[in-house]
Structure 1
Amino acid sequence: MLLFTQLLLVTLFISSSLEIRGFRRRQYENDCTLAPNVLAPDLPENCHDFNDEKVEGPLEVLTAEKLNQHPAAIVNLSISGGLSGIEQDCFSSHKTSLKSIAIVGNNIPTFPGYTFSYLSLNKLDLRNNDIVYLGLHPFDDSKIEDLNLNYNKISTLLKSAFSAEISCIRIAKNRVSFIEPQCFPGSLEMLDLRHNLLYDIESDHFSNLENLKKLYLANNHLQNVDFTGNKMKKLELLDLSFNDLTSINQTSFSELTKLEILNLTSNNIKWISSGTLQVFDKLKVLDISLNRFSNFPYNELHNSVEAINSFGNPWNCECFFRMERHLAKNQISSFKCELNSKDLPFCVVYEDKCVDVPNESLITVFKGHMSPDLIQYCSLSGPIKHLADDLLLPEPLDSAV
């Protein structure tokens, strides 16, 4: 039978100040990290008894029996690269002491029901475990501040998976194509669904998320987004960038009255109605870059707007210059962007007039000059610099671990 060489790092925070990580000892307060196969029956009484040696063996199943052999209460547990599964009720004996669990870089396709139940955690990190299905009620009756499921293979999100009180859920870099209506808990404040396979957001998907403040839906295949009748009265940031949207419907967005940051960059949007802009009376930052705008109802922007990014659109020059004068007069900053092609026009002269309808001729001319590899390089400066921090993504996605 083929045996796999594994590096199983288990972090058990106890009264010791010894850590073994990557087979090197370092001093940390209340931290003891053990290396491969320390969950075996010959688990040492304390970290000082463990030798720095490489252990070979098959992937293991984390069980309550193995965890319970450790004499001290576990506060922070970290396991990387050695598990094929987790036993049901594995953490039951440590539910009062555990504050964070990081199980990263393993091969765990699913969880039995109630795996992480009745826990109160600051963070539950389950990145890069090849998770295909979350199972039934894996977090039941738990309280979790930050649940990280990035870099897995999850395609379906069901209501039964999130029967817990969770503040932040990250499911970026998965294969999510189906979301059951009202799937996520009403306690949620931040939801990250970037880099998935979503084509539509229906009105009932997030209709129960009355505490949600930040919603990231970038880098999907969204063609339709409908927030009609939802309860996201506290939503402050909405990221819809890098999708396939062609329009923004006033009715679909009419409930988002608290929105402060709206990112629509890199879609195929040609027009936003004045009525839609009137809904956003708290809006501070609007990004409409890399779309198909030739004109824009800038007169309907509320006084709350502090910055707008209009880079990379087939602007009618007359319309664009009018908008620039309006923004300057109202002290609304524009994002500063650099182009990777000197030949790329920032506006197109067309009949020396400004019309209030999308102009296909301008789009055709502009697309002829637009490089498909064009990337925006934009920055905010001055008194609105602080808003740039809000535009940052919830965490970088350039590494799985």
Structure 2
Amino acid sequence: MRRSSLYSFCFLTAAIVAGVYSCKKTTGIDNNNVITTPFSLYFSDMGGALYHTNDGRNYSGMGFPPDGKPCRSLVTSGGNILWAKNHLYYSNNNGRNFNLTYDSLVAFPTKLCNGDSMNLNQSMLINITAWGNRVYTVSQSQNTDKNWLGVLYSDNFGNPRTWALDGSYDTVETGRLPVRMFSYTFLANGKLCGLAYSGPADGDNFHVRNFVKEGKDETVYANRWREKTANPDNIAYIYKGNLSGTPLPPFGATHVDTSYFTLGHMNNRLIAIDARCNYGAWYSDDLGANWTQYSGLPDNTPLLCIESPFEEVCLVGTAGKGLYILNLHTGAWEANNNGLASGTTVRGIAGKKNVFKNGSVRKFIYLATSNGIYESSDGGHNWVQTIPGNYAAVY
């Protein structure tokens, strides 16, 4: 072989090997940087406007102008955006227009211990993709019917005239009704947990009670709502339940409304946080039959939101004291404010991911705060502000 041909052969071989082991390019495009499934992030400010971004930095306003009514909760289902304010609104055209889909959402008018008036509750709306995008929300209870659970659902992405009241419950394990369901969370094991308060008709105003539903098909016994609330004092007229467990506080035959719990979870652990500052955070590993109090969260501080992005980390947002992360080794909460402005109020948490053409995935976590939208690209340990403003919710 001539030396020039040998050089040409070696160069060609090296080029082929380099092509195999380097980023594959097609028409000049690096497939490692091509996003095939970008995320969509929606967020709402305290003035009542809604925004959208695909990268956490460049954003645009949606078709609902500021109306002075902050967002209470925000989810997507199928191609719909569902937005809870004073009523529940939906958009089926990516936010260009919003229309009413339900007008009787349960309200919990209250002042937090820091004096703020807030009805924010991200967990009052939940879309369960594993159940065919069934959407649950909460219905204002003006009903004294014994079957009233205050549970409202749609099997058609939350569209108007598709909402139905869920009266499917187990009469053996479920105690006295009516109740008002107020908060939902969906565990990693596929069980839907709900938190409810007894209605005034019970003479037990805002008594905290928890329920579980294991599947969508209600002809199956376990898929009916079942009460798990502990009742160690055997207060028969309130509910049945576990006679030896530990309930969420406050507990007793009569009491005033001193808690405002909402639900979250970490994998299969059920977690309840109190926005009224009195009781902190509690967890249950048996679907709410027994509750144990967490340590590490600040006293006299409203706990406003809880989320477990990708089931890899659990975060709680507070009013004025930033963000806390659950130490999975010690079981205690720790401040996690690297990059957050001092005194930040965190009202919403969301996990998002980009899927690239080469199959790799990049995960992000976003916070809706009093000082803007913050982003973390390292599992929620460090934060950078990407969008300024004062925000109520993010999804």
After TM superposition, the score normalised by the length of structure 1 is 0.29
| Structure of larger gyration radius | 1
After TM superposition, the score normalised by the length of structure 2 is 0.29
- Specify which structure has the higher proportion of strand: 2
- Specify which structure has the higher proportion of helix: 1
Q: Which has the higher contact order (CA 8 A, sep 6+)?
A: 2
